[in-house]
C-alpha cells in the first residue's frame, strides 16, 4: 500500500471523530453502506486531492461526503463513470476545486 500523504494523514487524524459520525449518519440512512468500500474509496481517491493549502481540508471533506453518497448508492459498481470522474477529473480540477 502506498503511504498516505502527510496532509491527508493529518486531515484523517484530526477529523476522525467527525468523519466517523458522518459515516454513522450515512449508515443509518443507507444500512447497506459498507465501511470497507468507503475506506478503499478514501485510500484510492483522496490522496491526489490532499495538500497543505488552507482550502484542501474543505475539499477533502466535500469529497468524503461524495464518497459516502456514492458508496451508499453502490454507484462505484453500478456507474463506473462516477469513479472515473472522481479519480481522473478531480485531481486535474484540483486547483479550481480549491
Angstrom distances, CA of residue 71 to CA of 7, 10, 43, 68: 24, 23, 14, 5
Other Cβ atoms closer than 10 A to 64 = 23
pLDDT higher than threshold 80 for residue 2 = no
In this prediction, residue 82 carries a pLDDT of 85
pLDDT band at 1 (very low <50, low <70, confident <90, very high): low
The model's pTM is 0.91
Rg (alpha carbons) of the chain, rounded to whole number: 13
What is residue 94's predicted lDDT score, i.e. its pLDDT? 96
pLDDT 10s digits, 50-68: 999 989 999 999 999 999 9
Residue 94: CB atoms within 10 Å: 16
Amino acid at each position: 500500500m502506498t503511504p498516505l500523504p502527510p496532509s491527508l494523514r493529518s486531515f484523517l487524524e484530526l477529523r476522525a471523530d467527525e468523519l466517523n459520525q458522518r459515516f454513522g449518519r450515512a449508515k443509518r440512512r443507507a444500512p447497506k453502506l459498507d465501511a470497507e468500500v468507503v475506506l478503499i474509496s478514501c485510500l484510492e481517491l483522496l490522496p491526489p486531492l490532499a495538500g497543505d493549502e488552507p482550502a484542501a481540508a474543505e475539499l477533502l471533506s466535500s469529497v468524503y461526503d461524495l464518497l459516502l453518497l456514492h458508496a451508499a448508492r453502490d454507484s462505484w459498481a453500478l456507474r463506473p463513470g462516477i469513479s472515473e470522474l472522481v479519480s481522473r477529473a478531480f485531481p486535474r480540477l484540483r486547483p479550481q476545486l480549491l
